[in-house]
Amino acid sequence: MKREEVLTEALPYIRQFHGRTMVIKLGGHAQVDPVILDTVISDAVLLQLVGIRLVLVHGGGPEITEKMKAMGKEPKFVAGLRITDEETLEIAQMVLVGKISSNIVSLIAKFGGKGVGLSGNDGNMIIARKMTPQRVSVEGREQEVDLGHVGEIEEINPAVLNTLMDNGYIPVIAPIAIGRNGQSLNINADTAAGDIAIALKAYKLINMTDVDGIMDQTRTKVYRRLSLSEAEMMIANGIVSEGMIPKVKSLTKAVSEGVAFAHVINGNKEHNLLLEMFTDEGVGTMVHRD
């Protein structure tokens, strides 16, 4: 496609999205590869410059594990769930808020935008309760496991986000919440992004990960468009599995509670964010209302 054709195809989308709110979840390899992250953040700044109100939410599981090991602390997982004791929570806050958020904010500045790093503690933005002990199967035996300082979201207060966006800032959110007793809690970043999108009445939720989209059972076909009921059926039938489950669940919950469109795209490929947003075909999967 010629450059002028690309721009012509983008124009109606730019018009349609102007003034709308979008939430982007940064994850996967794109978050740790500096070259890819540079491209993603420059694209995000471009989206804001054409009039889109933007919120970025990021995870940090691999970096937390790496920092724990560097500090001589062995991460503990039970059935894929991280046990978060007091020391692990401190390390998570240090990595998520002190390193990842501040790095993304610096990149936003590099590309001409204004970013502000936040955690869910700021302005009581994300209020959570401690997760109840989880029933998991360990070596064939059912047992209850207390995950420690891990939270389930109860409430999102988006006032601080709206104030920042109204004044031309891009909020960058680390997935740490606050309990009603003032205790910090680690939360799932996919879930946080979805709940924030709902609270902001966002037009789009975009989850950037390491796969090309929602795929069929054989992992050879990417579905470009799925209705809400089709996506929910794929979770129920086990076609969506493992790490994709919380991602797709956050998308379907968002669409069922008012977000117009939810997307999952491969963040490792340059400019996929722009191609998904501004071309007719797109590059990932878009979930829409029935």
The predicted model gives 258-272 an average pLDDT of 95
What span, in angstroms and rounded, lies between the C-alpha atoms of 37 and 26? Answer: 9
Average pLDDT over residues 213-238: 92
Mean pLDDT in residue range 186-212: 96
Measured between alpha carbons, how far is 257 from 276 in angstroms, rounded to an integer? 22
CB 134 within 8 A of CB 112: no
- pLDDT at res. 268: 93
Query: pLDDT at residue 108 above 70?
Result: yes
Please give the Cα distance from 237 to 199 (Å, whole number): 29
Task: Count other C-beta atoms under 10 Å from residue 66's C-beta.
Answer: 14
User: What pLDDT was estimated at residue 141?
Assistant: 84
pLDDT band at 97 (very low <50, low <70, confident <90, very high): very high
Average pLDDT over residues 230-237: 93
pLDDT above 90: residue 227: yes
Task: Say which range, 11-20, 139-148, 227-236, 268-277, has the weakest mean pLDDT.
Answer: 139-148
Determine the pLDDT at residue 80. Answer: 66
3-class secondary-structure state, position 8: helix
Per-residue pLDDT for 137 more than 80? no
pLDDT above 70 (res 42): yes
d(CA 49, CA 108): 12
What is the rounded end-to-end Cα distance, in angstroms, of the chain?
A: 32
- What pLDDT shows up at residue 1? 61
Q: What pLDDT score does 136 carry?
A: 80
What is the chain's mean pLDDT, rounded?
Answer: 93
Tens digit of each residue's pLDDT (9 = 90 or more) over 163-193? 999 999 999 999 999 999 999 999 999 999 9
Question: Which runs of E-coded beta strand occur in the chain?
Answer: 21-26, 53-58, 77-78, 81-82, 115-119, 126-130, 134-138, 141-145, 151-156, 170-174, 176-178, 184-186, 204-209, 225-227, 261-266, 285-288
Report the predicted TM-score, pTM, of the whole model to 2 decimal places: 0.94
pLDDT in the model for residue 114? 98
**Per-residue pLDDT at 285 exceeds 90:** yes
What is the arithmetic mean of pLDDT over 49-63?
95
**Strand-strand pairing, 285-288 and 261-266:** antiparallel
pLDDT at position 81, please? 72
Average pLDDT over every residue of 96-117: 97
Q: Can you tell me the mean pLDDT for 230-256?
A: 91
Arithmetic mean of pLDDT, 203-221:
93
Query: Hey, what domains does the chain have and what are their CATH numbers?
Result: 21-275 (3.40.1160.10)
